[in-house]
């Protein structure tokens, strides 16, 4: 977009520079002219009084004659006139000089504008090299950081679309195969049809769960917040997950350090977040000896602290920073049927952050610990 010349910062700075210099020079010239006028008025001494019959005295040698004073006055008047002419010449020179100097000052800004104009999806992450050590340089550094964040966000979005497409393709492919098989088999019995439709329904359920999870990640969380007791929330969540734990032969228990922990939350969302972590703890500790999961809650520093521990396979140190990435699975041998879609922890983190809380994790073989912090209600 081309800027109007008369409205450009460069032109305005040049005008400002000119006005300041013109005013300053005008004041100097005005004072100079006043000084000249004062000088001329003091040098025009009156002629001496000559009494009758008194001989006239000759003028001293150093006293200027009338002709000399006239010549000096004319020269000073010329100087005054030329100084005024020079003032306008200086205004033109200062305008040109101000325009040039402002252009030099604004050169980094023009470079920044060019980079922003060129920024496209295929050039995200573009950097401005050698930013100056001033305010413009600080702005350029912010631009460089923003550009890298945009590139990272764009790459994450591209991977998200690819992963989501891959996960959706599987149930759709199975669904299509089952339907085509039934349609091609003219001798298919009711039992075959029922089994095929059952498999198709299962894949539809999987696709529905995936779609709902993707919507949860993409849309804003509910802003409805109500007073709740986090101790009761933990008891309710553990009670809900006990059936799954018993099915997997995993023991689960809760420890409540403070009976009343007031929080302002969306209850269903927080229960979902906690259940996601408990479910993972059960899933990844089911095959170890004496598997168990513990859930504790207490309050400290005006915060509700929920800790979920398990003695499962653990998370590799090199992968622990990836567990909140979409479609990531700790155990690569697990598929979407045994390990889910890898969206549970990203959803959990989103819910916790939307509640102004935070979630951390530490892990080693035989011990994984998730800690959730949620602010107490006032």
Residue 222 DSSP code:
P
Q: How far apart are CA 181 and CA 159, in angstroms?
A: 33
270 membership: H or E segment, kind and range? helix 267-283
3-state SS assignment for residue 256:
strand
**Pairs from 56-64 (Cβ < 8 Å, separation ≥ 24):** none
Looking at the domain 226-375, which fold is it? Answer: Heat Shock Protein 90 (3.30.565)
Domains of the chain, by residue range, sit at 135-218, 226-375
Looking at the domain 135-218, which fold is it? Answer: Helix Hairpins (1.10.287)
Phi-psi region of 247 (alpha: psi -120 to 50; beta: other; left: phi over 0): alpha
Q: How far apart are CA 113 and CA 4, in angstroms?
A: 15
Q: How far apart are CA 263 and CA 369, in angstroms?
A: 22
Q: What is the pTM of this model?
A: 0.55
Q: How far apart are CA 86 and CA 92, in angstroms?
A: 10
Q: What is the pLDDT along the chain (378 residues), one digit of tens a residue?
A: 455 666 666 677 777 777 777 777 777 777 777 776 676 666 555 555 555 555 555 555 555 555 665 666 676 677 767 777 777 777 777 777 777 777 777 777 777 777 677 666 566 767 767 666 766 677 778 878 888 888 777 777 776 676 667 667 767 777 788 788 777 877 878 787 788 788 778 778 777 767 777 777 666 666 788 999 999 999 999 999 998 899 889 999 999 999 999 999 999 889 989 998 998 899 888 888 889 999 999 999 999 999 999 998 888 888 888 888 777 766 554 444 545 567 778 888 988 999 999 999 999 888 999 999 999 987
Q: How far apart are CA 95 and CA 90, in angstroms?
A: 8
Extended strands (E) in 101-233: 226-229
Decide if 135-218 and 226-375 have a common fold: no
């Amino acid at each position: 977009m081309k800027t109007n010349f008369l409205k450009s910062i460069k032109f305005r700075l040049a005008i400002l520079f000119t006005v300041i210099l013109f005013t300053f020079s005008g004041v100097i010239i005005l004072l100079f002219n006043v000084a000249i006028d004062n000088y001329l008025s003091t040098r025009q001494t009156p002629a001496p009084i000559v009494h009758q019959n008194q001989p006239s005295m000759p003028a001293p040698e150093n006293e200027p004659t009338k002709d000399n004073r006239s010549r000096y006055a004319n020269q000073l008047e010329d100087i005054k006139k030329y100084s005024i002419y020079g003032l306008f010449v200086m205004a033109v020179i200062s305008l040109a000089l101000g325009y040039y100097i402002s252009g030099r000052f604004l050169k980094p800004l023009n470079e920044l504008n060019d980079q922003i104009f060129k920024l496209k999806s295929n050039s995200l992450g573009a950097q401005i090299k050698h930013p100056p050590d001033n305010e413009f340089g600080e702005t350029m550094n912010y631009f460089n950081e923003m550009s890298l964040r945009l590139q990272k966000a764009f790459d994450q979005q591209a991977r998200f679309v690819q992963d989501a497409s891959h996960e959706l393709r599987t149930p759709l492919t199975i669904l299509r195969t089952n339907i085509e098989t039934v349609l091609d088999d003219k001798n298919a019995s009711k039992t075959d049809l029922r089994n095929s439709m059952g498999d198709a329904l299962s894949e539809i359920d999987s696709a529905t769960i995936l779609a709902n999870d993707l919507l949860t990640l993409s849309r804003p969380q509910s802003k409805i917040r109500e007073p709740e007791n986090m101790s009761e929330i933990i008891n309710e969540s553990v009670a809900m997950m006990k059936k799954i734990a018993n099915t997997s032969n995993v023991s689960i228990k809760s420890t409540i350090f403070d009976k009343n922990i007031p929080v302002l939350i969306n209850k269903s969302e927080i229960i979902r977040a906690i259940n996601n972590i408990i479910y993972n703890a059960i899933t990844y500790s089911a095959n170890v000896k004496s598997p168990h999961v513990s859930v504790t809650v207490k309050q400290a520093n005006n915060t509700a602290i929920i800790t979920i521990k398990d003695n499962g396979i653990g998370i590799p140190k090199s992968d622990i920073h990836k567990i909140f990435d979409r479609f990531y699975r700790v155990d690569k041998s697990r598929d979407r049927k045994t390990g889910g879609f890898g969206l549970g922890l990203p959803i959990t983190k989103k819910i916790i952050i939307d509640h102004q809380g935070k979630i951390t994790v530490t892990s080693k073989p035989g011990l994984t610990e998730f800690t959730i912090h949620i602010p107490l209600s006032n």
